[in-house]
Amino acid sequence: MSFVLEIAEPITREIDAIIEEVCPGAGRRPMYGGIVFEREAGNHKTMVCGHFIYKSHVSLEFSNGYQFEDHDGVLEGKGKYRRHIKLVQQPDIDAKSVRAMLEQAFS
């Protein structure tokens, strides 16, 4: 079984659908080997997050994740601003509060 075909693509499609619900009209473009999202389409200064497919997980990365409330401790990373969530299977989307994090990202 290929992680990309069997698991990663459904995960990224679901993330895309949540973003469309949370911020209709958000910009989407390929960048850094994945897909990044902007609050205002075409304005790179409003980049909010992106998803990137790796060999064994999808990383959902937030430009200013350090500001998020993370009561469940799902965000990873110790950089100055950026935080990410590793998604290995589709149920991780709910288990790791992806919608709540995306709502914070686009608020």
Confidence (pLDDT) at 4? 72
CA distance 48 to 41: 11
Report the number of distinct structural domains present in the chain.
1
Give the residue numbers spanning the domain of 14: 3-106
* CATH number (domain holding residue 77): 3.90.1150
pTM, 2 dp: 0.93
Determine the pLDDT at residue 28: 96
Q: Read off the tokens for 79.
A: 């950089």
pLDDT of residue 1: 53
State the pLDDT at residue 6: 84
Q: Tens digits of per-residue pLDDT, 52-107?
A: 999 999 999 999 999 999 999 999 999 999 999 999 999 999 999 999 999 999 99
- Euclidean distance between CA atoms 50 and 17, whole angstroms: 13
- Between 32 and 67, the more confident residue is 67
pLDDT at 76: 97
